[in-house]
């Protein structure tokens, strides 16, 4: 599995599938009461009010002017006007190759250019081809489809939203009209880096909204996927078949059961290298090393999970991937994991 996170798994995973993990017998003596609490409707409403007060609502009509530094990319819709000839005016969408088709000029590559740079390029081409002596071209970005963020899960209006200018996680959640009543307060963000690798971030909204430092708010990048899980979820990551967020039963769900929910461990997993990261609040976390093999044969206790816990399963003899799930003062942390080829 080359991609670390698949958000499709959040919706399609069969929660108690035994695929790759087998059945798990959990001794009752190892179970203890969970400290998990569900977010109340009043808490969600208060959080949504804070979101609205700290962000600017999205304009999803596609007619927002792009900032001067906006770089044109595939799927953007451009309106091109040549002031010397109305016949050369056109509205065109940028192709997957970053090209547009312009009357008289055919295919012109504009990917990575600003609107002004595109204007200059088209003016020079029209002049060099001797179509117009002193052309004047205007370029307007009508739709910014190459710079979008997807907001999914338990929000009021899931969808794909345009990133025009610098936008943050709170902006993205405001675009989706905030959280619904069943949402949890821990948000999962996945990002594809320029080299094709995947990174994931866990953000605690309670601490983020309590922070007074605007730099604490995660800046959104094109292609980011924001997922808001249901309240009372845990996260399972690493060498499992279906990484993602999974619901837990109060005072019942254990580490091994959560791993089964995630499809079980993969063939290269190291059962002796399992991390349980427990969020303690106020920027504090606790990391516990576990041995899944010893848990499964009853030689080690199977910890009861709390809401916001994260489980990371290591890879056997290949490489160390656990870089730390750092819940700092605003609840932002990252995990990098590149599973070996199978």
**Residue among 225, 243, 218, 226 nearest 321 (CA):** 243
pLDDT surpasses 50 at 63: no
What is the arithmetic mean of pLDDT over 94-116? 91
- Which tens digits make up the pLDDT trace of 299-334? 999 999 988 888 989 887 644 443 333 333 233 344
User: Do the strands 148-153 and 137-143 form a parallel or antiparallel pair, or are they unpaired?
Assistant: unpaired
Question: Quick check: helix, strand or coil at residue 295?
Answer: helix
pLDDT of residue 271: 92
The C-alpha angle 303, 307, 310, rounded to 5 degrees, equals 65
Alpha helices by DSSP H, the chain: 8-12, 41-54, 115-128, 169-175, 205-210, 255-261, 292-296
Averaged pLDDT for residues 16-23: 33
- In this prediction, residues 183-211 reach a mean pLDDT of 80
CATH 3.10.560.10 fits 8-60+147-336, yes or no: yes
Mean pLDDT of 50-55: 61
Distances (CA, A) of 10 to 77, 205, 229: 32, 20, 8
| 3-state SS class at 305 | coil
pLDDT at 42: 65
pLDDT greater than 50 at residue 156: yes
Contact 116/66 with Cβ under 8 angstroms? no
The residue among 209 and 271 whose pLDDT is bigger is: 271
Task: Give the residue among 191, 211, 194 at the shortest CA–CA distance from 202.
Answer: 191
Percent residues over pLDDT 70 in the chain: 71
Residue 190: pLDDT band by 50, 70, 90 thresholds? confident
pLDDT at 268 over 50: yes
Q: Which position has the higher pLDDT, 262 or 194?
A: 262
Residue 126 phi, psi dihedral angles, 5° rounding:
-65, -35
- Comma-separated ranges of CATH 3.10.560.10 domains in the chain: 8-60+147-336
* CA–CA distance, 144 with 162 (Å, rounded to integer): 6
Q: Are 28 and 266 in contact, with CB atoms under 8 Å apart?
A: no
Residue of higher predicted confidence among 332 and 115: 115
Of 205, 201, 204, nearest in space to 226 by CA: 201
Residue-level pLDDT at 281: 67
> What are the tokens at 210?
């309590």
10 Å Cβ neighbour count for 319? 10
* Residue listed under structure tokens 């309670």: 206
pLDDT of 176 over the 80 cut = yes
What pLDDT does residue 40 have? 54
Q: What is the pTM of this model?
A: 0.58
Mapped onto helix, strand or coil, the DSSP state of residue 294 is: helix
pLDDT band for position 258 (50/70/90)?
very high
Task: State the fold for domain 77-143.
Answer: wza like fold (3.30.1950)
pLDDT reading at 80 higher than 80: yes
| Domain boundaries for CATH 3.30.1950.10 within the chain | 77-143
């Amino acid at each position: 599995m080359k991609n670390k996170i698949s958000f499709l798994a959040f919706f399609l995973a069969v929660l108690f599938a035994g695929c790759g993990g087998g059945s798990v017998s959990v001794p009752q003596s190892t179970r203890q009461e969970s400290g998990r609490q569900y977010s109340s409707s009043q808490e969600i409403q208060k959080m949504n009010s804070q979101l609205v007060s700290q962000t600017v609502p999205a304009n999803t009509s596609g007619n927002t002017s792009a900032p001067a530094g906006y770089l044109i990319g595939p799927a953007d819709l451009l309106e091109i006007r040549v002031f010397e000839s109305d016949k050369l005016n056109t509205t065109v969408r940028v192709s997957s190759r970053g090209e547009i088709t312009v009357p008289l000029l055919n295919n012109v590559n504009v990917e990575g250019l600003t609107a002004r740079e595109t204007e200059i390029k088209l003016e020079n081409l029209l002049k060099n081809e001797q179509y117009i002596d002193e052309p004047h071209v205007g370029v307007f970005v009508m739709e910014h489809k190459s710079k979008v963020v997807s907001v999914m899960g338990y929000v009021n209006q899931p969808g794909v939203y345009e990133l025009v200018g610098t936008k943050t996680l709170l902006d993205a959640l405001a675009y989706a009209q905030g959280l619904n009543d069943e949402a949890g307060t821990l948000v999962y963000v996945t990002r594809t880096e320029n080299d094709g690798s995947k990174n994931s971030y866990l953000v605690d909204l309670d601490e983020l909204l309590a922070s007074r430092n605007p730099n604490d708010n995660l800046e959104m990048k094109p292609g980011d996927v924001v997922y808001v899980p249901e309240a009372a979820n845990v996260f399972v990551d690493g060498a499992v078949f279906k990484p993602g967020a999974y619901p837990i039963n109060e005072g019942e769900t254990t580490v091994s059961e959560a791993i089964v929910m995630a499809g079980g461990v993969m063939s290269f997993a190291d059962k002796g290298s399992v991390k349980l990261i427990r969020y303690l609040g106020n920027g504090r976390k606790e990391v516990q090393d576990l041995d899944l093999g010893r848990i499964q044969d009853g030689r080690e206790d199977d910890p009861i999970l709390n809401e916001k816990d994260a489980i990371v399963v290591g890879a056997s003899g290949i490489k160390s991937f656990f870089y730390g799930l750092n819940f700092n003062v605003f609840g932002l942390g990252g995990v990098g994991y590149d599973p070996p080829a199978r």
